[in-house]
């Protein structure tokens, strides 16, 4: 069941979304050669707790992993697609890319967002990967309007990514969001004819999150049972925003 939110609920989600934005962009400014992903984690957790919020990811149970996620951030470097775990041993190097993904619960409502940034100067191919992934998200956001259908979002991401020579990760998808971190509907980044294709209505909130590989689309999960990487070792980028359907068009809750 897709749960539509009232204007008052959307305002609460907006506060959660703006906190996520603050955390992500504060942490992104720390990204440089020689910094460990665990340092990013410590800064993010302090920001979330100081704001009176609860980390959405820390303690989140995954049946597939069989345990609870132990961190507030997912820090996925280079060929890591999603759910990369912060570590004092993971030291960022010049030319790396890192996806930073986090969520919070504030006043009972969730926010969830992700960005991918380069460590110093990155290669032209990696710069293109990041740009195309972010562009695909922005184009998809424009489709979040009453009367459109879910597949309008999915196909927009897929067409932009594939027309630029990159591939869509299919094992991981976006989702509805509200009083739960993951709600209906699922939001694939490609047109899945086995998936529901609901019409978009006012009050729906979707976490749209393109995950794009430079090489082949297949992924695998590492022995930690969380970290997903590209099967062929190619670089991967990830961007995400929570977007509300309103009568005036898309409202991105996770940026000012």
* Euclidean distance between CA atoms 2 and 177, whole angstroms: 10
pLDDT digits (tens, 9 = 90+) for 131-172: 999 999 999 999 999 999 999 999 999 999 999 999 999 999
Provide CB contacts within 8 A for 154, sequence distance 6+. 187, 188, 189, 190, 191, 192, 195
Average pLDDT of 98-123?
98
- Rounded average pLDDT over 45-58: 98
Token code pair at residue 8: 């008052």
What is residue 252's predicted lDDT score, i.e. its pLDDT? 99
The CATH code for residues 7-252 is 3.90.230.10
pLDDT at res. 227: 98
* 159, 139 Cβ separation under 8 angstroms: no
Rounded average pLDDT over 18-31: 98
Residue pair 82/238 in contact (Cβ under 8 Å)? The answer is: yes
**Residues 6 or more apart in contact with residue 17 via CB below 8 angstroms:** 111, 113, 242, 252, 253, 254, 255
What is the rounded distance in angstroms from the CA atom of residue 196 to the CA atom of residue 5? 20
pLDDT at 63 over 90: yes
**What is the 8-class DSSP label of residue 252?**
E
pLDDT at site 190: 98
Average pLDDT of the chain is: 98
Contacts of 148 (CB under 8 A, 6+ apart): 199, 200
Decide if pLDDT at 12 tops 90. yes
- The reported pLDDT for the residue numbered 198 is 97
DSSP 242: E
* Span 85-110, average pLDDT: 98
**Closest of 220, 236, 46 to residue 129, by C-alpha:** 236
- Phi, psi angle pair for 119, to nearest 5°: -100, 105
Residues in the chain: 256
In 3D space, the residue among 212, 213, 207, 218 whose CA is nearest the CA of residue 150 turns out to be 207
Q: Is 51 helix (H, G, I), strand (E, B) or coil?
A: coil
Q: What is the mean pLDDT of residues 225-254?
A: 98
Each residue of 174-221: pLDDT tens digit?
A: 999 999 999 999 999 999 988 899 999 999 999 999 999 999 999 999
Q: Report residue 89's pLDDT band, with 50, 70 and 90 as the boundaries.
A: very high
Cβ neighbours of residue 77 closer than 8 Å, sequence gap 6 or more: 37, 84, 90, 92, 96, 97, 98, 99
- HSE of 148 in the Cβ direction (CA atoms, 13 Å)? 20
249: region left, alpha or beta (phi > 0 left; psi from -120 to 50 alpha) = left
Residue 66 backbone zone (phi > 0: left; psi -120 to 50: alpha; other: beta): left
Domain ranges of the chain: 7-252
């Amino acid at each position: 069941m897709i749960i539509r939110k009232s204007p008052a609920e959307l305002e609460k989600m907006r506060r959660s979304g703006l906190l996520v934005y603050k955390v992500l962009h504060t942490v992104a400014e720390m990204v440089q050669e020689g910094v460990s992903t665990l340092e990013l984690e410590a800064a993010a957790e302090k920001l979330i707790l100081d704001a009176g919020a609860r980390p959405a990811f820390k303690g989140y149970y995954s049946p597939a992993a069989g345990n609870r996620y132990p961190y507030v951030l997912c820090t996925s470097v280079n060929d890591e697609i999603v759910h990369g775990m912060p570590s004092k041993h993971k030291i960022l190097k010049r030319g790396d890319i890192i996806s930073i993904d986090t969520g919070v619960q504030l006043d009972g409502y969730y926010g969830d967002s992700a960005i991918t940034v380069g460590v110093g100067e990155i290669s032209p191919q990696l710069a293109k990967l990041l740009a195309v992934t972010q562009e695909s998200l922005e184009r998809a956001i424009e489709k979040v309007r009453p009367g459109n259908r879910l597949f309008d979002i999915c196909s927009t991401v897929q067409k932009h990514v594939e027309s630029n020579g990159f591939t869509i990760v299919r094992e991981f998808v976006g989702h509805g969001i509200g009083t739960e971190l993951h709600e209906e509907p699922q939001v694939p980044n490609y047109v899945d004819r086995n998936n529901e294709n609901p019409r978009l209505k006012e009050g729906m909130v979707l976490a749209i999150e393109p995950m794009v590989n430079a090489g082949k689309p297949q992924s695998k999960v590492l022995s930690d049972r969380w970290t997903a990487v590209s099967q062929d070792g190619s670089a991967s980028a990830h961007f995400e925003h929570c977007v509300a359907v309103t009568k005036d068009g898309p409202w991105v809750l996770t940026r000012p």
